[in-house]
Amino acid sequence: MNSHPEINGERLLARLDMFAKIGATPGGGVNRQALTPGDREARALLTRLAKARSFSVFQDDAANLFIRMEGRDGSQPPLLIGSHLDSQPSGGRFDGALGTLTAFEVLESLADAGVEPERPVEVVAWTNEEGCRFAPGCMGSRAFVEGKIPAEWADLRASDDGARFEDERLSTIDALAADSSHRRLGFPVAAYLELHIEQGPSLESEEIPIGIVTGVQGTRWLEVAFEGQTAHAGTTALQYRRDPLKALTMGLSALYAGVMPENADARFTVGRIAVAPGSVNAIPATASCTIDLRHPETAVLDRLEDDIRSGLTEAAARENVSVAIRKTVDMEPVTFSSDMVAALQAAAQKAGLPTKTMISGAFHDALFVAGCAPSAMIFVPCRDGLSHNEAEYVKPEDSVTGARMFLASVLELLPRA
């Protein structure tokens, strides 16, 4: 390496503003859900920025987008750095975008300093990390690690407009086909590093600028569908009712009272409920919901999942309705490579930055990439720990400090990876 690259903080902050305009919502956040026109626009902008710097751009069959800076030995597996550009429907401007744009800023700062790294460095924007428009989440990184698109994804439909995943995937790839080269899905990676906002309160409250993430807790998603009988609201007496919404609400109410109060580290969330036919004066025929369940230990997740299944089944029996429970996501808790964590600690020490080691409550693409390459993550504080919310906010100086830490970590990892 021949000179000392430095983060251009103004450039990074300007880029964050540029991307926040794509899919901007009136409340100051973004709605740029996976594979929508907004997501495609963000990918196209990143591609334009990459080409302006003469980096090469690739896409694979999962629509993962790669931007490559050549290394001295181009035959070496790249150091992969990045995050995602898709968002929640009512999302913030930093979740995913900060990590992707920080990785790109590092590539530019290496290029500005005339650095030719030992091995290639590639920025990646993974497809559909969020999982809200198409479940599961982290589709791009999961397909990358498996080396194929799972067959069951062909039938997936979008939660908002019913679009087919298969159609959306192909048109997203087509939209950038002229500006990128095609790559096969999955290739050897020397190491993977991702920066993200903490999405929790501890760094901000402890006034620590950098979190070094040692692992990610487990997540399970369930789709629950109660089915009863639609009937007249005014004429159907209690003993004749087969009300699926009553079963759902009574079942959930018991779970709200039990799961989190009894398990301080558990997270139990119902984010979507649907009732049909949805008439004011008819008992519903069906009532369904999603459940997001998290915990750092697999054994506890197993036990809580059993409790949820039996609680909902008993609620269905009490109301004389049926219930079907389908697991759509099962992400095992992951511990990151201790060598990677040690490299990040060394980088922070050289950069003079205080750190805190922590595990992530949110899932991230790094959880999957850890299945094929040593991986780790860096967190930066966000205001009030608030995320998946339009008001999500990261102080400019915290974004820039995170980028300095990220660059220091890349420089630490390049000779080690």
Q: Footprint of ligand GLV on this chain (CB under 6 A)?
A: 130, 137, 362-363
| Smallest distance, ligand GLV to C-beta of residue 95, A | 7
Q: Please check if 130 is assigned to a binding site.
A: yes
Site for Mn ion in 95-134 (CB under 5 A): 95-96
Tell the smallest beta-carbon distance from residue 138 to ligand GLV (Å): 8
Q: Minimal CA–CA distance to 81: which of 63, 66, 59, 97? A: 66
**Is 182 annotated as belonging to a binding site?**
no
Cβ distance to Mn ion smaller for residue 362 or 408: 362
End-to-end CA distance of the chain: 15
Q: Which is nearer to ligand GLV, 136 or 244 (CB)?
A: 136
Nearest distance from residue 403's CB to ligand GLV, in Å?
A: 21
Helices (H), ranges, 319-372: 338-351, 365-369
Which entry of Mn ion, ligand GLV, none binds 215, CB below 5 to 8 A by partner kind? Answer: none
Tell me if 196 is assigned to a ligand binding site: yes
Q: Is 232 annotated as a binding residue?
A: no
Note whether 227 binds Mn ion by CB under 5 A.
Answer: no
Q: Which stretch binds Mn ion (CB under 5 A): 90-98, 185-193, 244-252, 312-320?
A: 90-98
Which residue's CB atom is positioned nearest to ligand GLV?
A: 362
Total residues at interface with Mn ion (CB under 5 A): 2
Strands (E), 44-179: 56-59, 65-69, 79-84, 121-126
User: How do beta strands 121-126 and 322-331 pair?
Assistant: unpaired
Look up residue 212 and give its DSSP letter: E
Residues 23 and 315: their CA atoms lie apart, in Å, by 41
95 is annotated as contributing to ligand binding: yes
Closest CA to 98 of 156, 158, 19: 19
Tell me the closest approach of the beta carbon of residue 137 to ligand GLV, in angstroms: 6
Query: What are residue 91's phi and psi, to 5 degrees?
Result: -100, 175
Q: Which does 319 bind (CB under 5 to 8 A by kind): Mn ion, ligand GLV, none?
A: none
Single-letter residue type at 84:
H
- The residue type found at 399 is S
Measured between alpha carbons, how far is residue 403 from residues 196, 270, 406 in Å? 10, 34, 5
Give least dist CB 158 to Mn ion, A. 17
Token pair of 392 as six digits: 């999500």
Q: Is the peptide bond before 201 cis (omega within 30 degrees of 0)?
A: no
Closer residue to Mn ion (CB): 15 or 93:
93
Compute the distance between CA of residue 4 and CA of residue 175 in angstroms, rounded to an integer. Answer: 37
Least Cβ distance, residue 34 to ligand GLV (angstroms): 11
Q: Which residues bind Mn ion (CB under 5 A)?
A: 95-96
**Residue positions forming the annotated binding site for Zn(2+):** 84, 95, 130, 196, 388
Residue numbering of the annotated binding site: 84, 95, 130, 196, 388
